[in-house]
Amino acid sequence: MTGDELAYLGRSLLTPSALTELGVFFGCVALSWVVVRLVRGAEFDRRSIWFGRTIVDGVLFPVLALVLALIARRLLQDILPLAVFRLVVPILVSLLVIRLTVRVLRVAFPESHLMRVVERSVSWIAWGAMVLWVTGVLPVVLEELDQIQWKMGGTVISVRNLIEGVVSAVVVMMVALWIASAVETRLLQGTGGNLSLRKMAANALRALLLFVGLMFALTAAGIDLTALGVLGGAIGVGIGFGLQKLASNYVSGFVILAERSVRIGDMVMVDGFEGRITDINTRYTVIRALSGKESIVPNEMLITQRVENSSLADPKVLLNTVVQVAYGTDVEPLMAAVGAAVGAVPRVLSDPVPAVRLTSFAADGLELTVFFWIADPESGSANVRSDVNLAILRLLNERGVEIPFPQRVVRQG
């Protein structure tokens, strides 16, 4: 677009026909908003790539607005001199690129600060390209970039080819991430007790789609995939020597999810840390203790070290507590009464029934060990043991049973 064309566009924007175009454009935007609102409904997932948190920050709104604007421009180009639509179409294209990139990256990498930098960079590049497009400078810039060339082997590559390849690669990777995130969400939202298997399938599918997307992106960028054979061999050697632990953790993660030796929700103890498994990733497993502390455990440790799993075959856990009574106490009826009192504690299971055993003739009294079972170790053991001890203490006080305490006789010579 030359200076005369810019001046012509400026004059066209001041004509009455521009008001007609503007009204048609606002009609397209309003119709897009209504359609998205009706499709979205009252209840929707705010993480949705199509809808976003509001109507206008999803992908569907700029897609519909762009499609309607293109249809309107096609219908009006033989009737009116177009001015407004020469501006709004590039703006809608830039908005679509930004919305797609931002929504996909936020869903795929919700906690990544680097993605925020990528989002801002894509926004600046998209709006800059839009300005160059509208002003007519973009074709001139592309022609100049096409003149900057260098030869790599038998292939001549220009800066324009490189930029177009990068843009194509970004689009392909965004689509691959979008599909991976959508399928992963559907898998993890499924019902049933096979959460670990669904997690494994989601991780495997995500890795596969990203790999396929990367291959398409490299092809779109004009890179010969056959030339990656040597690079692949070098990467294999690097994994074999420098990345053994990383590769081992990834392989161990898939083995754990496939064998289901530990599952999300299991109560485990690894390297002295006890807690409930809250997440199993391809490289590490997250274990959350009842105190709120979280441990990031490399998956290799779950394969090579001993892991105590309280929930693998049976969630029932055996606990015990010890109490002493004075010598001379009639312990046989007392043992039966203690067992009944412990069985009345809410979290204590009635099957197997609590058991009381005379385990030692201690220096100060008769030592009774009370064994009882619980089925919810993830709720903690200290609290239920405290309830059991309180129940035993109340029983001993009601029966007047003495709890002995150490006595020492000091003689002076």
Q: Give residue 29's pLDDT.
A: 86
How remote is the C-alpha of 338 from its chain's centroid? 48
Average the pLDDT over 123-131 and give the result: 78
83 contact partners, CB below 8 Å, separation of at least 6:
9, 12, 13, 15, 17, 18, 21
Looking at residues 334-351, what average pLDDT do you find?
90
Tokens for 354?
């609590």
pTM over 0.75: no
Residue recorded with tokens 């454009």: 25
Domains in the chain with CATH codes: 3-147 (no CATH), 224-313 (2.30.30.60), 317-399 (3.30.70.100)
Cis peptide before 81 (omega within 30 of 0): no
* Pure H helices in 13-83: 16-40, 60-76
Tokens of residue 15, six digits: 């004509």
> Which region, left, alpha or beta, applies to residue 400 given φ > 0 means left and ψ of -120 to 50 means alpha?
left
- The DSSP line for 315-371 is --EEEEEEEEE-TT--HHHHHHHHHHHHHTSTTS-SSSPPEEEEEEE-SSSEEEEEE
Tokens found for residue 139 = 């074709």
Q: What tokens appear for 91 in the block?
A: 């703006």
Collect all residues with Cβ–Cβ distance below 8 Å to 104 and sequence separation of at least 6. Answer: 49, 174, 177, 178, 181
- Which residues, 6 or more positions from 298, have their beta carbon under 8 angstroms from its beta carbon? 245, 249, 252, 283, 284
Residue-wise pLDDT for 238-258, tens only, equals 656 656 777 777 778 778 777
pLDDT in tens, 377-392: 777 788 889 999 999 9
Q: Percent of the chain beyond pLDDT 70?
A: 77
